[in-house]
Amino acid sequence: MSQFFRLHPDNPQPRLIKQAAQIINDGGVVALPTDSSYALTCHLDDKDAVERLRRIRGLDERQLLSLLVRDLSELSNFAQVDNRQYRLIKSVTPGPYVFVLQATKEVPRRLSHPSRKTIGLRVPDHAITLAILEELGQPLLGTTLIMPGETQPLNDAEEIRERLEKQVDLVIDGGACPCEPSTIVDLTGPEPVLVRAGRGSLAPFGLELPA
């Protein structure tokens, strides 16, 4: 049976943030709000939690999960970026974007794409998520909360609790999210490549929606 916390979306209660971080540190899978939609998250170094998260979402090991970081100071620990990539990322973060980047050698193998050695990196613009990241002192592993066979992310915390109460350890109710997945942009090549169009604007990358 999952726990259920109601947090203020702009000024989350520190006591509940500490409890949420403890649940994650203890191997929990947590549903939480972000600036694009609700996401499923877990500790990045907990293999069992990562496998549970993938099972809930119906994702195999080839499908990229994202690292949620509190700011770009952690970027160099996980991704190889040049000045051009860094300036581009900095111009739109925090925000509803996932950037596909070359992973550093320090990144655990299970977080990287098995053939391309890439990693998805995200700096969410949501007070609850950022407060949890601050309390943890390290990134979270996460993915948009879209259930297998569905196309839209879940956006109501009560519904998430109803559907996932036996599969996740905590549901954080931070109110409704925009209910749009994040925009995924691949920055590993000479030019940005759109992987998934979502809430984030494509203009900073010189990209347009496919016709």
Q: Tell me the pLDDT tens digit for each residue of 178-192.
A: 878 899 999 999 999
Cα-to-chain-centroid distance, residue 60: 17
Length of the chain: 211
The pLDDT score that the predictor gives to residue 116 is: 65
3-199 CATH: 3.90.870.10
Q: What is the pLDDT of residues 105-151, one digit of tens each?
A: 877 766 766 666 889 999 999 999 999 999 999 999 999 999 999 98
Distance CA 52, CA 49 (A): 5
Asked if 31 and 170 count as a contact pair (C-beta separation under 8 A), the reply is: yes
CA distances for 75 relative to 61, 138, 175, angstroms: 23, 11, 29
Burial 36-64 (b: 16+ CB within 10 A, else e): bbbbbbbbbebeebbebbbebbebeeeeb
What's the pLDDT score for residue 58? 94
Looking from the CA of 10 toward its CB, the CA atoms found within 13 Å total 0
Structure tokens at 121: 């990196």
All residue ranges of the chain with pLDDT < 50 are none
Could you identify the residue written with the tokens 């991704």?
A: 79
**199 token code pair:** 């809430």
So what's the pLDDT on residue 17?
98
Please name the residue that has the structure tokens 């601050």: 134
